[in-house]
Amino acid sequence: MGTVEPQVSTAQDAPQAQTIDGFQLVIDALKLNGIDTIYGLPGIPITDLTRRAQADGMRVLAFRHEQSAGYAASIAGFLTQKPGICLTVSAPGFLNGLNALAHATVNCFPMILISGSSEREIVDLQQGDYEEMDQLAIAKPVAKAAFRVLHAEDIGVGIARAIRAAVSGRPGGVYLDLPAKLFAQAIDAAAGRNSLIRVVDPAPKQIPAPEAVKRALDLLKGAKKPLIVLGKGAAYAQADADIRALVERTGIPYLPMSMAKGLLPDTHEQCASAARSFVLPAADVVMLIGARLNWLLSHGKGKTWGGKGHKDWGGQKFVQIDISPQEADSNVRIDAPLVGDVGSCVSALLAGMGAGWSKPPAGWLAAVAEKKNGNVAKMAETLAKNPVPMNFHSALNVVRDIVKANPDAMFVNEGANALDFTRGIVDMYQPRKRIDVGTWGIMGVGMGYCVAAAVTTKQPVIAVEGDSAFGFSGMEVETICRYNLPVCIVVMNNNGVYKGTDVDPTGRDPAPTVFVKGARYDKLMEAFGGVGVNATTPAELRAGLEDAIRSRKPTLINAVIDETAGTESGRITSLNPSAKKK
Ligand SMILES: Cc1ncc(C[n+]2csc(CCOP(=O)(O)OP(=O)(O)O)c2C)c(N)n1
Ligand SMILES: [Mg+2]
């Protein structure tokens, strides 16, 4: 985490230079720790905090809904390794931000939700204050840590604790409760400044034990059919060169989880994404790097892994690199847990490998390559088709080309089919470019992610959004236009959730999965001065994307997709109780 020189402002407290108030101490404490951006939404009691932070040189990005501000903060944390700050008002604003706080904790993104709150005395006696709510108690179960500051002289400690909790060990979401009265408290200026803490080494390295490194290497050495799985923890670590070196020096085929795509280019010869359903059951030793054996990896067992029944172990042995010592054995036995930060673990493995490491058996590599090449050829055939109306494949074939030509661009993705097809078809070439629905498969992250991606990286942003997914944060196109961000949103418009063909059997209402047919999402962008494009062909989609990247103007392309093209729940139909019965 970077640091900046302490900046203690004088402008705001000029009339009473000998005192400093709570507003200023919060701002100074954040700036002292290199935090220069706030994602939020103003109102009582934090309106002046947003104004004064901006006047003091911080970037304050104001959203139309706190949930989007929270998602923006969470992904800013993932991209920068500094806690992303979301600032909200009390009760309803806090609750709107809470979803993102939980999301940050579940996804291991460092984030701090700072919410103003009402009078403690009234809240605790439940006497009915304006926006009364015991926010600290409500935040605790979904936060990695939660704190409240009651006295101005404790602001420095409160913010230091929040920063350490957010970024150290396994990162997560932290809640910081700041009651209204705190902001106006004035204390002696010199004492106030002295109370601020510049956090030293907020995310200390955690070096793995030498015997754990040896155990992992021994297991890998004996493997006949080894596999590496890269998770978003590996992407977060920013240990890109060492991770690539480890993959290449071992010669082991690897699978990137969704947000680890691009850690090595998806076109890398060792990438086994196109042979996923072959390598998972066939592998004998699997090394997980910053990836958890949760539902996204079928809990490390069952048919996906070659087990007989849906809960049976497939026989694999696992090496697991994770910063949390509690992660191992969460789903199946981990034979070689390697506890430490991903960067330290990977460099310890590289050092321990020594010279003369032999590549995996040629038969295994040939079998993986054969499966992969077969599937890639099949996909190429599908992508080459040009049906009318467009389907997911013909539209994504265009997106794939545009991303290949613009590998620096950030890439946001949410939806069901709009997510699953995109993840499979659109290759990523650089680390931490792809950001998506994450651990929960959540809808609504889209526009918040676009704003944070543009602001933190300054690169153009391409977002591929299901029409349902887009709706969760669609009003933030105004935010994107207001800050004139280089964001191009492609709405994969198939008239609904999964597809647009359902009907109400009683004939009364539209089906719950269906939207207004032929909706023109591009007009929404035009309403705020951005560029709207209605694309019914791959050529129109290509032209729209190319113009958007070139102009860096906020753009929304309404990509008209065959409403029959999707499948129920995309690739996770089996998790859907009624669909499973069919
Ligand atoms: C917050 C939240 N609410 C609801 C869902 C359930 N859900 C999963 S995908 C999806 C939308 C799928 O439709 P769309 O985005 O249009 O993608 P498509 O499959 O049509 O391409 C919904 C509502 C969710 N994942 N998250
Ligand atoms: Mg849809």
Q: Give which of 579, 560, 563, 556 is closest to 489, Cα–Cα.
A: 556
Ligand in closest contact with the CA of 419: 1
- Whole-number Å distance, alpha carbon 571 to ligand 1 midpoint, is 12
Element (H, E) at 490: strand 487-493
- Whole-number Å distance, alpha carbon 438 to ligand 1 midpoint, is 13
Dihedral over Cα of 182, 187, 193, 196: its sign:
negative
pLDDT for the residue 16:
52
Q: How many CB atoms lie within 10 A of CB 57?
A: 11
pLDDT for the residue 1:
46
Residues of the chain with pLDDT under 70: 1-17, 580-582
- Whole-number Å distance, alpha carbon 495 to ligand 2 midpoint, is 6
Q: Does residue 180 line the site of ligand 1, with CB under 6 A? A: no
Beta strand 186-188 pairing with 19-21:
antiparallel
Q: Does residue 514 line the site of ligand 1, with CB under 6 A? A: no
- Whole-number Å distance, alpha carbon 502 to ligand 1 midpoint, is 15
Integer angstrom CA distances of residue 27 from 114, 175, 191: 12, 17, 16
* Cβ 398 vs Cβ 538: under 8 Å: yes
The 3-state DSSP class for residue 119 equals coil
Integer angstrom CA distances of residue 94 from 114, 221, 361, 460: 8, 51, 55, 31
Atom of ligand 1 nearest to the CA of 472: 1
Residue pLDDT, tens place only, 29-65: 999 999 999 999 999 999 999 999 999 999 999 999 9
> Could you list which residues have their CB under 5 Å from ion ligand 2?
466-467, 494
pLDDT for the residue 2:
46
- Whole-number Å distance, alpha carbon 311 to ligand 1 midpoint, is 27
Q: Does residue 442 line the site of ligand 1, with CB under 6 A? A: yes
In terms of Cβ atoms closer than 10 Å to its own Cβ (0-12, 13-18, 19+), residue 539 is exposed
Residue pLDDT, tens place only, 175-224: 999 999 999 999 999 999 999 999 999 999 999 999 999 999 999 999 99
